Amino acid sequence: MFDIIFDTIVMRPYVFTFFVAFLLACVPHVGWRKTLTFIVAAYLIAFISEKLSITTGFPYGWYYYLDTTSHKELWVSGVPFFDSLSYVFLTYCSYTTALFILSPLATRGLDLITLETRAIRHSWAALILGAFLQTFLDIIIDPVALQGNRWFLGQIYGYHELGLHFGVPISNYVGWLLTSFVLVAAFQQIDRRVEEKAPYGIFAIPFRSLLGPILYMSVLIFNWVISLSIGENLIALTGIFIFTLPILMVTILTVLRVNRYREEELQEHLKDYPWSLLNKFKE
């Protein structure tokens, strides 16, 4: 068993690199307990959604896995372990990118800090934006993954019918949006637990508020690079065009919003998260 787990990590180093980056971002954000709870919950939600789809066609439409690596890496009931695990860091980076967009921003020295509040974290705006951000990640990921036989992923799955978007059916993206809503809502529910002091594992880390958005961009760039490396220039350029305007808008609005917060927004942030780095600066 330990051999198959080790081989899984060796075969999918890019997945586990992203997963480690998720841990480095999520633990200082919400603490070890919430992070571990979310990992288990998100994995189970993702696994159930994939298992349902390959057996019933819901929620992603009919697709199938090619069992060519189950003797080399960990599979769970016909689903590659790494595939369901990927949903964990994709959800977190999408949700925290939504928080970055929605929250007031403050700088202390060179650091950029989101003035998150419980109301922002648990809002419908964060849920909807986070779910759509995750779905748009899959719009970039899935066409590249479908070409897995041409890069180190390998051909691990396929669709019963050729889809409209570079072979991917639209039903897949509808299913991703539905599943993303459930995943982001699960994170919000786990995060609702109120602590009077800093949860175990939370610590000051430079640019902590940027780690989620950086992970989000890293996933995008990774898939664009793979697309270009296998000669799928149209897939890469389409993805880049899709994200150019949103990235430009967020960048410009970020510059305009920095340190433009109201005093009551700062006080609400400090009230909800008294262990905030901003309190340490005040001291």
Give pLDDT, residue 279: 76
Cα separation of 264 and 96, whole Å?
A: 22
Q: What is the pLDDT along the chain (283 residues), one digit of tens a residue?
A: 678 888 899 899 999 999 999 999 999 999 999 999 999 999 999 999 999 999 999 999 999 999 889 889 999 999 999 999 999 999 999 999 999 999 999 998 889 999 999 999 999 999 999 999 999 999 999 999 999 999 999 999 999 999 999 999 999 999 999 999 999 999 999 999 887 677 888 887 889 999 999 999 999 999 999 999 999 999 999 999 999 999 999 999 999 999 999 999 999 999 999 888 887 655 4
Strand pairing category for 79-80 and 75-76: antiparallel
pTM of the predicted structure, to 2 decimals: 0.96
Could you give the number of structural domains in the chain? 1
Cα separation of 22 and 47, whole Å?
A: 19
The answer to whether 94 touches 184, Cβ cutoff 8 Å, is yes
Give pLDDT, residue 136: 98
Among 280, 271, 246, residue whose Cα is nearest residue 115: 271
User: Tokens 């959800």 correspond to what residue?
Assistant: 91
Cα separation of 201 and 10, whole Å?
A: 28
What is the CA 66 to chain-centroid distance, rounded?
25
Longest dimension (CA), the chain: 61
Give pLDDT, residue 283: 47
Q: Which domain holds residue 245?
A: 2-282
The answer to whether 10 touches 60, Cβ cutoff 8 Å, is no
Cα separation of 116 and 119, whole Å?
A: 8
The answer to whether 252 touches 175, Cβ cutoff 8 Å, is no
Q: Is 173 helix (H, G, I), strand (E, B) or coil?
A: helix
